Amino acid sequence: MDPTALEPAADFHADQLQAELTDSGFTSVTVLDQVESTNVWLADQVRQTGGTDLSAVVTGFQSAGKGRLDRHWFTPPGVALTFSVACTPRTAAGVPWPVEYVPWLTLLMAHSVTRAVRGTARVPAVIKWPNDVLVDSRKLCGVLATLINHPGSSVPSAVVGAGLNVSQRHLPIPTATSLRLEAGNDAAVPDRQTLLTEILREFARCYHLVSQDPGAALGPGGDMRAVLESELDTLGRRVALHLPGSTVPEQAVAEGLGTSGELIVRGDQRTARALSAGDVVHVRPAPGAARTASEQCALDDVARITAGERA
């Protein structure tokens, strides 16, 4: 059934989602017609249960969504994929992830969205540090993580939410886009349940991989770290840093990622420093900065796939 204004989640089927995701380790997948915020709703559930591993909630309409730095955003009912995942990160040995690796969950979700939309819609998506998915510099998806500390426990939980523009034909700002706008026709846009299933499967795969040994996966030279860096449009280019309290952007070269996924930048004085997501208001390409190798690689990859399908 297609979503409507009265039933914006009509295209989601909780039983089918649960069946398709059980092998990935999801203990529950909840479908809500409408909610103010999937992150807030799932965080409340996690606080009540004292922590869970890999549960998810998806809604047909989120009425009070928030992004980084408490930015508000709104999409009409039934046109976006809005969901959150909860986890309590432990290693294979059952101990909490080292605290420095927990912030990487945001990039793991951005990666999962990127892989899913490339594979299902053939859209050349890339990651913009710290929490966006872009197509040709236009925002397709935003990711937001919330950390939850439990009284009497040393193991925190995390809720990671995402809002992905799917079937919008018009968006209020020119720097945003949707899968429908990028694909060019309705037939090329996968349904929201298919997208959600692919995203959650990839997130679970990456989450379990990292949990085997977070340091080996995300430390210097780690396989998962290398994958994330390869998809980051921000790296290797000159960027304009919009910092809190400053009206003049500072320019620097984005060189890599730090221990906790911070952005390592080097300014004109040749001094390198690490910036966390809370240290910046915006990180944007500096005027005249060329497309990065990662974005060009994504474009080339999708072009090859598309050409093969048409042959």
Tell me, yes or no, whether 224 lies in a domain.
yes
Are 144 and 239 contained in the same domain?
Answer: no
Tell me, yes or no, whether 191 lies in a domain.
yes
CA-only gyration radius of the chain, Å: 19
Are 132 and 182 contained in the same domain?
Answer: yes
CA distances to 126, 180, 189, 275, 304 from 112, in Å? 11, 19, 17, 23, 21
Are 102 and 150 contained in the same domain?
Answer: yes
Are 172 and 49 contained in the same domain?
Answer: yes
47 token code pair: 């606080």
Are 151 and 256 contained in the same domain?
Answer: no
> At residue 306, does pLDDT exceed 80?
no
Are 20 and 45 contained in the same domain?
Answer: yes
Q: The CATH number of the domain where 262 resides is what? A: 2.30.30.100
Q: Which of 117-126, 183-192, 198-207, 291-300 has the lowest mean pLDDT?
A: 291-300
Are 274 and 141 contained in the same domain?
Answer: no
Tell me, yes or no, whether 116 lies in a domain.
yes
Tell me, yes or no, whether 8 lies in a domain.
no
Are 256 and 208 contained in the same domain?
Answer: no
Q: What is the spatial distance between Cα 243 and Cα 225, in angstroms, rounded to a whole number? A: 26
Q: How many domains does the chain have?
A: 2
Q: The CATH number of the domain where 88 resides is what? A: 3.30.930.10
Of 228, 248, 264, the one marking the end of a domain is: 228
Are 133 and 241 contained in the same domain?
Answer: no
Q: Which of 131-140, 252-261, 288-297 has the lowest mean pLDDT?
A: 288-297
Are 273 and 197 contained in the same domain?
Answer: no
Domain that holds residue 126: 14-228
Tell me, yes or no, whether 133 lies in a domain.
yes
Are 281 and 206 contained in the same domain?
Answer: no
Q: What is the spatial distance between Cα 32 and Cα 55, in angstroms, rounded to a whole number? A: 14
Tell me, yes or no, whether 136 lies in a domain.
yes
Whole-structure pTM value: 0.90
- Across residues 28-46, what is the average pLDDT? 95
- Across residues 59-82, what is the average pLDDT? 74
> At residue 207, does pLDDT exceed 70?
yes
The DSSP bridge pattern shows strands 80-87 and 126-128 to be: unpaired
Are 35 and 120 contained in the same domain?
Answer: yes
- Across residues 117-140, what is the average pLDDT? 95
Tell me, yes or no, whether 20 lies in a domain.
yes
